[in-house]
Amino acid sequence: MWLWQFVCCLSIFFCRLVPESLPAFFIMSYSKSQAEEIVEDFEDLKDTEFSVHGSTYIIEDVIVVPSDAELFSAFFESYGSTRNATELISAYNTDVFDVIIVVTPMLDDTSLSYFTVRQYVSDLGVSYNFP
């Protein structure tokens, strides 16, 4: 799972360098109110499972995160210990946010990973109109 997290963080980093070469779900960010609206739309997914790319995951949470790659890395590491996204996000002084779906693999409930909400929508073919 660490490889997936590394790939996602690397992709977020490179989207700042070469945005036209990456999928759209890595290059968008939202205002805090837009991100909170998206969280509300997807929060019913908590405690459900889904399969993608041959793996099954349980959705632990849907949360607002800083979209800056460095801030995101620090945020996600802290979230892994506290599991309190609301308190954590208030400590970040930024105007750009994203939304992630926090998951654990079905066969390894000790490891946390994530999908951006755009990645989830794309991978599962879900129809959703982002703000």
The pLDDT-based confidence of 108 (bands split at 50, 70, 90) is confident
**Structure tokens given for 113:** 């990973």
CA distances from 30 to 35, 38, 51, 98 (A): 6, 10, 27, 6
Query: Pick the residue with more confidence: 107 or 84?
Result: 84
Q: In angstroms, rounded to a whole number, what is the distance separating the alpha carbons of residues 123 and 101?
A: 13
Rounded to the nearest integer, the mean pLDDT of the chain is 83
The pLDDT-based confidence of 27 (bands split at 50, 70, 90) is low
Contact of 99 with 62, CB cutoff 8 Å: yes
